[in-house]
């Protein structure tokens, strides 16, 4: 199968941060398939185990740590683990989508703060640490995986939507601020996804699935090739942009 | 999952494919395994592009086409189907670049306005109309419309280019919504400033000389568009439709503020 050489990540090292959800293993697999070494930072041990399992055919090349990244000390400790195994970091992928949905008048402030901390504060802390190294070496690619709720409202979605809009604004700001250092910062915006293989006809029994123009939920593998391109050296002129892979949700009413 | 980025055996039609960004997309699509119908008004550049594709071992035809004439747009899609048996990808790239020369509104004639609409917007509509039925019948297809940063922002005295390129983004959204049920996707590529060899001196004078004002600190090169076009033409983008893919050096993310300048403002008490 002819493939453009521009889609290769051979020789690159990627840090993958997962705030939550079950898609990190697929993102890690896409990066590894393109040739990158992957170091995962997962908020939950369960997610890290799933990532390690998905990369188990090359156990020596990939590693990771389970850590709650809510302070400078926490990110420094995770980066110390990383430096124990790798020389430099070329790629940072942040999946800041720990989901939460509750009626706005019933959201406790602790829950609100926790959602913002898991998704935004942690992504900022890691981006700041990794970005500093990228500035020093004059090269880097950062991709934030965000929800399309960065652009739209949803009933019960206020806390989560705010966190996603924050990540989109962070994407644009870091792109503008770090562009001069040959660092590109983009986002992939996803719609309604599932990591499970559910037959399409079964999915369509749900009204919300029929509302998606392509009439099926997205799969994490749907964003794998795009993630690889946005992490590649060839992605040199695109920065500060969200690319939505959402079955057409963002383009219709 | 990366083998989905291959275009092995796919058939792609590229309008305005003989020069500039169109030619670069033709080259990358061929490298990824596609066979090409290269369309353009002048036969020289499209024949040379088709020869280049054939030299890479792929099949190609050159079809002289003025997309502002719907009969010629129909004939282009017919020619591709007759030669290759199918059309998998349509890239609407043809545009009158001359109308990106800034002109005060009172100096724009009815003919100037109409000519730009005919090529840039009607041309894309005619080609999409001709290709979408066979794509729907085969249950898959990719329509890629080349817009511009001027499709999302205004430009001083740049009327037709901004209006038609904005229209292209809306055309993309309507196509995506309407054709999703047939397995056909539609997306826009939004290039920022990417100087091409074809850009004549008058247009070149109207464009920025350097990318110093952009976050990337440089203008784009035509090669930048290749991997994006291949991605959108491939099954790797099957779940993406109605969307824009921007290559603009970060211009839209930050606006045209000179980079490197930023005040620091301390936290208020």
**ipTM computed for the complex:** 0.93
Residues of A in contact with B214 (CB under 8 A): 179
Q: How many angstroms separate the CA of residue B11 from the nearest CA in chain A?
A: 14
C-alpha distances out from residue B261 to A156, B82, B213, B216, Å: 40, 57, 10, 14
Percent of chain A with pLDDT over 70: 100
A125, burial (CB in 10 Å: exposed 0-12, middle 13-18, buried 19+): buried
Interface membership of B160 toward A (CB under 8 Å):
no
The confidence score (pLDDT) of residue B224 equals 97
- Number of compact structural domains in chain B: 1
C-alpha distances out from residue B124 to B81, B118, B242, Å: 18, 9, 15
Q: Which of B2, B177, B191, B225 to mutate to test the interface with A (most CBs of A within 10 A)?
A: B2
User: Would A26 be classed as within a structural domain?
Assistant: yes
CB distance B215–A214 less than 8 Å?
Answer: no
CB distance A172–B224 less than 8 Å?
Answer: no
CB distance B177–A29 less than 8 Å?
Answer: no
Residue of B126, B159, B161, B239 marked active site: B161
Interface membership of B216 toward A (CB under 8 Å):
yes
User: Would A4 be classed as within a structural domain?
Assistant: no
The confidence score (pLDDT) of residue B206 equals 66
SS3 of B39, please? Answer: strand
Residue B199 sits in a domain whose CATH number is 3.40.50.720
CB distance B192–A248 less than 8 Å?
Answer: no
The confidence score (pLDDT) of residue B263 equals 77
Residues of B in contact with A25 (CB under 8 A): none
Q: How many angstroms separate the CA of residue A252 from the nearest CA in chain B?
A: 7
Q: How many angstroms separate the CA of residue B236 from the nearest CA in chain A?
A: 6
User: Would B262 be classed as within a structural domain?
Assistant: no
The closest CB to that of B231, out of A176, A184, A226, belongs to A226
The confidence score (pLDDT) of residue B209 equals 74
Question: Do A15 and A89 contact (CB within 8 A), yes or no?
Answer: yes
User: Would B266 be classed as within a structural domain?
Assistant: no
- CA gap A169, A174 in Å, rounded: 9
User: Would A14 be classed as within a structural domain?
Assistant: yes
User: Would A253 be classed as within a structural domain?
Assistant: no
Count, residues in chain B: 269
The closest CB to that of A251, out of B4, B176, B254, belongs to B176
Q: Which domain holds residue A183?
A: 9-247
Residues 6+ apart with CB under 8 A from B43: B62, B64
Among candidate residues A3, A37, A245, the one with its CA nearest the CA of residue B2: A3
Question: CA Rg, chain A, in Å?
Answer: 18
CB distance A214–B227 less than 8 Å?
Answer: no
User: Would B156 be classed as within a structural domain?
Assistant: yes
The closest CB to that of B177, out of A4, A224, A248, belongs to A248
Q: Which of A248, A249, A250, A253 to mutate to test the interface with B (most CBs of B within 10 A)?
A: A248
Give the sign of the dihedral formed by CA A194, CA A35, CA A14, CA B215. negative
B262, burial (CB in 10 Å: exposed 0-12, middle 13-18, buried 19+): exposed
The closest CB to that of B5, out of A3, A171, A251, belongs to A3
Residues of A in contact with B7 (CB under 8 A): 2
Question: Do B123 and B15 contact (CB within 8 A), yes or no?
Answer: yes
The confidence score (pLDDT) of residue B83 equals 98
Residue B9 — φ and ψ, nearest 5°?
80, -5
Please report, to the nearest 10 degrees, the dihedral formed by the alpha carbons of residues A249, B2, B8, B12 taken in order: 30
pLDDT tens-digit series, residues A69-96: 999 999 999 999 999 999 999 999 999 9
- CA gap A7, B2 in Å, rounded: 8
- CA gap A63, A14 in Å, rounded: 11
- CA gap B79, B72 in Å, rounded: 10
The confidence score (pLDDT) of residue B97 equals 75
CB distance A239–B216 less than 8 Å?
Answer: yes
User: Would A15 be classed as within a structural domain?
Assistant: yes
Scanning every residue of chain A, which has its alpha carbon at the shortest distance from the alpha carbon of B182? A214
Among candidate residues A128, A221, A208, A234, the one with its CA nearest the CA of residue A173: A128
Q: How many angstroms separate the CA of residue A103 from the nearest CA in chain B?
A: 30
User: Would A198 be classed as within a structural domain?
Assistant: yes
User: Would B213 be classed as within a structural domain?
Assistant: yes
Helix (H) / strand (E) element for B20: namely helix B20-31
User: Would B268 be classed as within a structural domain?
Assistant: no
Confidence tier at A169 by pLDDT (50, 70, 90): very high
The confidence score (pLDDT) of residue B210 equals 79
User: Would B84 be classed as within a structural domain?
Assistant: yes
pLDDT tens-digit series, residues A34-50: 999 999 999 999 999 99
Please report, to the nearest 10 degrees, the dihedral formed by the alpha carbons of residues B66, B67, B71, B75 taken in order: 80
A178-200 as b/e: b if 16+ CB within 10 A: bbbebbbbbbbbbbbbebeeeee
B65-101 as b/e: b if 16+ CB within 10 A: bbbbebebbebbbebbbeebebbbbbbbbbbbbbbbe
Q: Which long-range contacts (CB under 8 A, 24 or more apart) does A169-175 make?
A: A170/A120, A170/A123, A170/A124, A170/A127, A170/A144, A171/A144, A171/A146, A171/A240, A171/A241, A171/A242, A171/B253, A172/A240, A172/B253, A172/B254, A174/A127, A174/A131, A174/A142, A175/A239, A175/A240, A175/A241, A175/B215, A175/B250, A175/B253, A175/B254
- CA gap B245, A132 in Å, rounded: 28
Q: Which of B240, B248, B252 to mutate to test the interface with A (most CBs of A within 10 A)?
A: B240
User: Would A188 be classed as within a structural domain?
Assistant: yes
- CA gap B206, A220 in Å, rounded: 43
Residue A227 sits in a domain whose CATH number is 3.40.50.720
Residues of A in contact with B240 (CB under 8 A): 222, 226, 243-246
Any catalytic annotation for residue B261? no
Q: Which domain holds residue B51?
A: 2-252
User: Would B260 be classed as within a structural domain?
Assistant: no
pLDDT averaged per 10 residues in sequence order, chain B, 269 residues: 96 97 98 98 97 98 98 98 98 85 93 95 98 98 97 92 97 98 98 79 70 90 97 98 96 74 83
Confidence tier at A240 by pLDDT (50, 70, 90): very high
User: Would A2 be classed as within a structural domain?
Assistant: no
- Number of compact structural domains in chain A: 1
Helices A122-137 + A158-178 axis angle, to 10: 10
Interface A–B counts its CB contacts (< 8 A) at 165
The confidence score (pLDDT) of residue B197 equals 66
A150-169: average pLDDT: 97
Scanning every residue of chain A, which has its alpha carbon at the shortest distance from the alpha carbon of B221? A237
Interface membership of A194 toward B (CB under 8 Å):
no
- CA gap A134, A65 in Å, rounded: 21
């Amino acid at each position: 199968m002819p493939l453009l050489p521009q889609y290769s990540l051979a020789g690159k090292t990627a840090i993958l941060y997962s705030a939550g959800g079950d898609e990190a293993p697929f993102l890690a697999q896409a990066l590894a398939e393109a040739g990158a070494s992957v170091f995962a930072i997962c908020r939950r041990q369960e997610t890290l185990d799933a990532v390690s399992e998905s990369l188990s055919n090359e156990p020596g090349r990939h590693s990771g740590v389970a850590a709650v990244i809510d302070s400078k000390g926490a990110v420094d400790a995770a980066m110390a683990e990383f430096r124990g195994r790798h020389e430099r970091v070329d790629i940072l992928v942040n999946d800041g989508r720990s989901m939460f949905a509750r009626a706005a008048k019933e959201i406790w402030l602790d829950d609100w703060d926790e959602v913002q901390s898991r998704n935004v504060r942690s992504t900022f802390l890691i981006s700041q640490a990794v970005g500093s190294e990228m500035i020093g070496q004059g090269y880097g690619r950062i991709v934030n995986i965000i929800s399309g709720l960065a652009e739209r409202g949803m009933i019960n979605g206020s806390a989560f939507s705010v966190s996603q809009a924050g990540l989109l604004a962070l994407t644009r700001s870091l792109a503008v601020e770090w562009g001069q250092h040959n660092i590109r910062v983009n986002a992939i915006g996803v719609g309604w996804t599932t990591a499970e293989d559910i037959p399409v006809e079964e999915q369509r029994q749900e009204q919300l699935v029929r509302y998606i123009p392509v009439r099926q939920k997205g799969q994490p593998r749907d964003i794998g090739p795009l993630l690889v391109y946005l992490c590649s050296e060839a992605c040199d002129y695109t920065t500060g942009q969200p690319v939505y892979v959402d079955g057409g949700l963002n383009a219709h009413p | 999952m990366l083998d989905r980025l291959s275009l092995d055996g796919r058939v792609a039609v590229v309008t305005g494919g003989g020069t500039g960004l169109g030619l670069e997309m033709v080259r990358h699509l061929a490298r990824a395994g596609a066979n090409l119908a290269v369309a353009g008004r002048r036969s020289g550049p499209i024949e040379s592009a088709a020869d280049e594709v054939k030299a890479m071992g792929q099949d190609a035809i050159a079809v002289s086409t003025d997309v502002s004439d719907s009969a010629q747009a129909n004939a282009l899609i017919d020619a591709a189907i007759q030669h290759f048996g199918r059309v998998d990808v349509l890239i609407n790239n043809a545009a009158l670049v001359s109308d990106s020369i800034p002109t005060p509104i009172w100096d724009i004639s009815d003919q100037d306005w109409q000519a730009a609409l005919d090529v840039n917007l009607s041309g894309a509509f005619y080609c999409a109309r001709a290709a979408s039925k066979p794509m729907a019948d085969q249950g898959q297809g990719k329509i890629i419309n080349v817009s511009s940063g001027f499709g999302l922002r205004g430009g001083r005295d740049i009327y037709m280019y901004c209006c038609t390129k904005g229209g292209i983004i809306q055309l993309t959204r309507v196509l995506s919504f309407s054709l999703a049920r047939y397995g056909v996707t539609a997306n826009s590529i939004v290039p920022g400033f990417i100087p091409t060899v074809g850009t004549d001196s008058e247009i070149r004078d109207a464009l920025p000389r350097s990318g110093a004002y952009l976050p990337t600190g440089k203008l784009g090169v035509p090669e930048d568009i290749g991997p994006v076009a291949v991605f959108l033409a491939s099954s790797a983008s099957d779940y993406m439709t109605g969307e824009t893919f921007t290559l603009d050096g970060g211009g839209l993310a930050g606006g045209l503020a000179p980079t490197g300048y930023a005040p620091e403002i301390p936290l208020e008490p």
